[in-house]
Structure 1
Amino acid sequence: MRQHLHGKRWLVISALFSIPAALALLVRFTSPDVPPRGLEFLLGMMLLPQLLIPLVALLYASGMIEDEQEEQTITYLLVRPLPKWGIYLVKFLATVTTTVALTAAFTALAFAAIYVGSGVPFAEWSVRLAKIAGLHSLAVTAYCSLFGLLSLLTKRALIVGVVYIAVIEGLLANLPFGIRLITVIYHARMIAYRSLSFVVTTPHMEEDIAAEAWQLNLREDPQLLLHPAASTSFTSLAMGTIACVVLAAWLCSQREFHVKTPEKA
């Protein structure tokens, strides 16, 4: 955890995570008629989980082992009587602890920027905050397991990860095709939709903004019987996370690590 929090990386990530709160304040000052729940959806359920959370997970998880090699500190870990898979698991736990703490804290900051002074009772939006922060924590854990595995499969984990975020999680997960069943964000959305209401009420109409944005065809499938239940989505994320962690730990135990040595004068 000390490795994750030193240097400029956490400052850059904190700046990225502050964007939703800054946008919320900007919108509230310039367009005070925007419904708070609509703003919550755009920032808390679109911007954060679709872009910022996977990106932060990628920046942290892709460097779990690579950073140790670049800084030539992995030797001190390998000379100790510790199994390589154990080293990976501990570094994964440190990564998850760091990313979950940052995710929860800045999700709360975004909600405060959206709701404080809006007239919505704290008892109402604090419950939504708790559920969405928990959901974001589940998603960032799944992303960390995936990108941690990816970092052991390729040296270009950052590039491959960015492509994965943009194409798989960003594009294909928004289309009504079967491939979205293997994405993190789709299952996170199904849990959110089945446990929270995203109906926005205006003086002229009521609109389920999540159903439209997430391509959920309520006219033909009003009960969403063609989509997984919340428990199924939770199990899928949990099992996928465990599978990625176990496979990554095994790969780490089989790998021979080569460290850089100072060049002779």
Structure 2
Amino acid sequence: MNDAISSAVSSPRSFGATAFRGLVALYLLTIRQHLHGRRWLVIGLLFLLPAALALMVRFTSSRIPPEGLEFMLAMMLMPQLLLPLVALLYASGMIQDELEDQTFTYLLVRPLPRWAIYLAKLAATITTTAALTVVFTAITFGAIYLGAGIVAGDWMPRLVKTAALHVLAMTAYCCLFGLVSLLTKRAQIVGVVYIAVIEGLLANLPFGIRLITVIYYIRLIAYRTLSYVVATPRGPEDMAAEAWQLNIIDDPQLLLHPSPSTCLLMLLGASVACACLGARICSQREFHVKTPDSP
């Protein structure tokens, strides 16, 4: 092993090829780890909750239109609760699980930069959660619209846009909670508090404090690209404007809020910043792990 490391360090080209192959292998291994074990079962049950609720509502009440169900489940329940919880469960264990299982030692002795190890595991986590998000968002839409008398051409474009927004939110949450996991050993507790207070409470208040939340920017993009006006006995009702505290009476064009492109740049920029900061912390932090020679 020492000869291999010395040879890799002495040859930049060899080191680059070796590191790339090692990172690809780590990326694929992390994806396999994410799709096995109890965590996968918990994730699956969490993601099936909106579809189960949609079916229950459809079989017990015919007064709620499909568009209303879509808003409550796909744009309220999922992005405000399920997506951050799933991201927390996966991202908080990227490094911590390796430390607890004493497998991080084998990564450290390989000729791989620590920052690259972190980014490879983060990329695998984002890939896994994004794929699951798309699949279960599609299942939720199917439970809402299939058999409801609405042609697929009317709701499939909405599914595509909603899934894209969910993936964007999931990416931001994974980068954030991955960083949190390096700052504290109680990442899951901190994450739950963040989800409940920051994303759950502050994001629903019509104050500037919601500018620090992920879901605020997701909602602004959703409001401008999707319509959540639902027919009610009182007439058409804009469910999103009311639930998200958007003052469309005084500001119908939402000129006082960031534009969709600004929202997108904010989320992507914050994700990259959290990923880079996490990689830097990982490269400089001293990890206390057991080695095969340790008692």
The TM-score normalised by the length of structure 2 is 0.88
Aligned residues of 1:200 and 1:209 also touching (Cα < 8 A) = yes
2:182 & 2:92 partners in 1: Cα distance? 8
Task: Give the match's secondary structure for 1:54.
Answer: helix
2:210 matches 1:180: yes
Task: State the shift of 1:261 in Å.
Answer: 5.9
Please name the residue that 1:86 is paired with: 116
1:185 & 1:260 partners in 2: Cα distance? 40
Please name the residue that 2:27 is paired with: none
Please name the residue that 1:214 is paired with: 244
Please name the residue that 1:125 is paired with: 155
Please name the residue that 1:137 is paired with: 167
Aligned residues of 1:70 and 1:260 also touching (Cα < 8 A) = no
Aligned residues of 1:64 and 1:92 also touching (Cα < 8 A) = yes
Task: Give the match's secondary structure for 2:216.
Answer: helix
Larger Rg: 2
Task: State the shift of 1:120 in Å.
Answer: 1.1
- Which structure 1 residue ranges, 5 or more long, are not aligned? none
1:118 & 1:33 partners in 2: Cα distance? 12
Q: Which amino acid counterpart does residue 182 of structure 2 have in structure 1?
A: L
The correspondence for 1:158, drawn from 188, 196, 206, is 188
Aligned residues of 1:187 and 1:233 also touching (Cα < 8 A) = yes
2:97 & 2:189 partners in 1: Cα distance? 16
The correspondence for 1:102, drawn from 132, 151, 166, is 132
Q: Which amino acid counterpart does residue 239 of structure 2 have in structure 1?
A: I
Aligned residues of 2:105 and 2:291 also touching (Cα < 8 A) = no
Task: Give the match's secondary structure for 2:274.
Answer: helix
Aligned residues of 2:105 and 2:290 also touching (Cα < 8 A) = no
1:73 & 1:197 partners in 2: Cα distance? 48
The correspondence for 1:58, drawn from 69, 76, 88, is 88
> What is the aligned-residue identity percentage?
70
Task: Give the match's secondary structure for 1:100.
Answer: helix
Q: Which amino acid counterpart does residue 245 of structure 1 have in structure 2?
A: A
Task: State the shift of 1:220 in Å.
Answer: 1.1
Please name the residue that 1:26 is paired with: 56
- Which structure 2 residue ranges, 5 or more long, are not aligned? 1-30
Aligned residues of 1:187 and 1:237 also touching (Cα < 8 A) = yes
Please name the residue that 1:192 is paired with: 222
2:89 & 2:113 partners in 1: Cα distance? 25
Task: State the shift of 1:222 in Å.
Answer: 1.0
2:116 matches 1:75: no
2:91 & 2:265 partners in 1: Cα distance? 22
The correspondence for 2:79, drawn from 49, 52, 55, is 49
Q: Which amino acid counterpart does residue 224 of structure 1 have in structure 2?
A: L
2:285 matches 1:255: yes
Q: Which amino acid counterpart does residue 198 of structure 2 have in structure 1?
A: I
Task: Give the match's secondary structure for 1:18.
Answer: helix
2:149 & 2:258 partners in 1: Cα distance? 35
Task: Give per-residue Cα distances to partners, 1:27-48, cap 9 Å, x unaligned.
Answer: 0000022100000000000000
Task: State the shift of 1:5 in Å.
Answer: 1.3
Please name the residue that 2:4 is paired with: none
Q: Which amino acid counterpart does residue 153 of structure 1 have in structure 2?
A: L
After superposing on structure 2, the runs of 4+ consecutive aligned residues of structure 1 that deviate more than 3 Å are 260-264
2:196 & 2:51 partners in 1: Cα distance? 23
Q: Which amino acid counterpart does residue 126 of structure 2 have in structure 1?
A: V
Task: Give per-residue Cα distances to partners, 1:189-215, cap 9 Å, x unaligned.
Answer: 000001111100135410000000000
1:112 & 1:125 partners in 2: Cα distance? 10
Aligned length: 264
